[in-house]
């Protein structure tokens, strides 16, 4: 196969975070599918083995998805990129998971890219990965991110040194396109 026909993330491994309950389904599935469709091998990463139940619009229970690996079973070296979807309850749960936070912190410290959307930046706060960065999120996190030393902007998608952030599900098209581009550029 000639190189121009290869998929941009062929050979890359991407971990997608999934809380036991409360991850926003569309943010999880669309970002997961975008990187998989671009050729990446995708692992769903969670706090517990089994499945995580997603939600729609934060309140309606939705589908369950299998967790491939738990945070304590993997290391930052295992992944070329990470994705942290939102969902208020899911993101709040993920930011209290010490192993998940440590994985994200080590991953970013190694200069590897990540995509984080909606309430997902709460996990960035816990990973001490906000100070000095320009990023966006769901609007209610603006003060949290500014107080942690970040420059919060109200834009559809923001990229800062490999970190891609977006505000909410309305931004998913731009978010998914940008994570594929950024992950591909950084996995060369």
Return the pLDDT at 53: 97
CB of 85 closer than 8 Å to CB of 16: yes
Beta-carbon neighbour count of residue 59 at 10 Å? 9
Domain boundaries, the chain: 11-186
Mean pLDDT of 119-140: 97
| Predicted confidence (pLDDT) at residue 3 exceeds the cutoff of 70 | no
Question: Which one from 107, 118, 139, 176 is the annotated catalytic residue?
Answer: 118
Would you state the pLDDT for residue 104? 98
pLDDT for 153 beyond 50 = yes
The pLDDT of residue 188? 62
Q: Is 119 a catalytic residue?
A: yes
User: Is the domain defined by 11-186 classed in CATH 3.40.50.880?
Assistant: yes
Report pLDDT for 74: 98
* Digit-coded pLDDT (tens) for 33-49: 999 999 999 999 999 99
The residue with tokens 């939705």 is 62
Q: How many CB atoms lie within 10 A of CB 107?
A: 24
């Amino acid at each position: 196969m000639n190189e121009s026909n290869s998929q941009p993330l062929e050979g890359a491994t991407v971990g997608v975070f999934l809380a036991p309950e409360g991850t926003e389904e569309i943010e999880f599935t669309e970002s997961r599918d975008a990187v998989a469709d671009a050729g990446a091998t995708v692992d769903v990463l969670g706090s517990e083995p089994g499945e995580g139940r997603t939600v729609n619009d934060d309140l309606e229970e939705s589908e369950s998805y299998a967790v491939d690996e738990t945070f304590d079973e993997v290391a930052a070296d295992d992944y070329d990129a990470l994705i942290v979807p939102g969902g208020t309850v899911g993101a709040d749960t993920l930011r209290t998971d010490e192993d998940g936070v440590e994985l994200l912190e080590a991953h970013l410290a190694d200069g590897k890219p990540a995509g984080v959307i909606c309430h997902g930046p709460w996990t960035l706060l816990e990973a001490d990965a906000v100070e000095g960065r320009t990023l966006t999120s769901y609007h209610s996190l603006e003060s949290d991110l500014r107080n942690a030393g970040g420059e919060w902007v109200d834009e559809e998608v923001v990229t800062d040194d490999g970190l891609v952030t977006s505000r909410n599900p309305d931004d998913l098209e731009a978010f998914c396109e940008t994570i594929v581009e950024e992950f591909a550029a950084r996995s060369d």
